[in-house]
Amino acid sequence: QLQLQESGPGLVKPSETLSLTCTVSGDSISSTSYYWGWIRQPPVKGLEWIGNIYYSGTTYYNPSLKSRVTISVDTSKNQFSLKLNSVTAADTALYYCAGLSYDSSGFRVEYWGQGTLVTVSS
Amino acid sequence: SYELTQPPSVSVSAGQTASITCSGDKLGDKYVCWYQQKPGQSPVLVMYQDNKRPSGIPERFSGSNSGNTATLTISGTQIIDEADYHCQAWDTSTADVVFGGGTKLTVL
């Protein structure tokens, strides 16, 4: 059973870079069974996909965030990370890391972290 | 970019059937999955590939997808089913993951 745990600052200043890390346990991040992703949920709103990464480094990003997002993987630490630069108050949200399966029907989230709240404020 | 639309809220009496819709252009040509999210909790996958239930999801949950609309149906709705429900699809042309805005299900 996969477990994912987000970590990182809960408060980021406007115009700075949001950085989060997800630690994976219960399986290797190099597993061919999963993609690893980030999804966020602004307060009292729906879910928004940020992007996915495969252990090989292949990435897929939400077009609306692509210019500001970088997702990377560290196989030695069984972790993957999110960087979102030039943040504004609109980036305030609960950030989830996720383990996604991929098949002919596309991506679906099989495992979710507990989420970490990031507030953008000076 | 591809968009999915859900009603903000749906109400149902306990024991009755709840239907939650998700609409998108030619959505029937894509596969849809559904997540249940209870207050203060992370979402849980309750349906994938339109109508397949993950292990542990009760049989009262079913799904369909045709034309421009996918539907999550809960038969014999229980109080414990009260939650937000999010649909999700995958845009085959761009590989983008797309979520609907979510529907709050209230069980009366």
Distance (Å, rounded) from C-alpha B50 to C-alpha B28?
Answer: 9
- Write the pLDDT tens digit of every residue in A34-50: 999 999 999 988 999 99
Beta bridge mates, A20: A82
Chain A residues in contact with B95 (beta carbon < 8 A): 60
Q: Compute the Cα dihedral for A59, A45, A5, B52 and give only its sign.
A: negative
- Write the pLDDT tens digit of every residue in B12-60: 999 999 999 999 999 999 999 999 999 999 999 999 999 999 999 999 9
Per the CB < 8 A criterion, the answer to whether A14 and A122 are in contact is yes
Q: Compute the Cα dihedral for B5, B9, B34, A56 and give only its sign.
A: positive
Angle at A74 between CA A68 and CA A75, to 5 degrees: 145
CA distance B107 to chain A (A): 19
DSSP 8-state code for residue B52: B
CA distance B35 to chain A (A): 9
Q: Output the six-digit token pair for B96.
A: 């983008």
Distance (Å, rounded) from C-alpha A79 to C-alpha A60?
Answer: 17
- Write the pLDDT tens digit of every residue in B38-47: 999 999 999 9
Chain B residues in contact with A46 (beta carbon < 8 A): 86, 99-102
- Judge: B43–A109 Cβ closer than 8 Å, yes or no: yes
Q: Which of B49, B95, B97 sits opposite A105 (nearest CB)?
A: B49
Closest CA to A2 of A24, A34, A33: A24
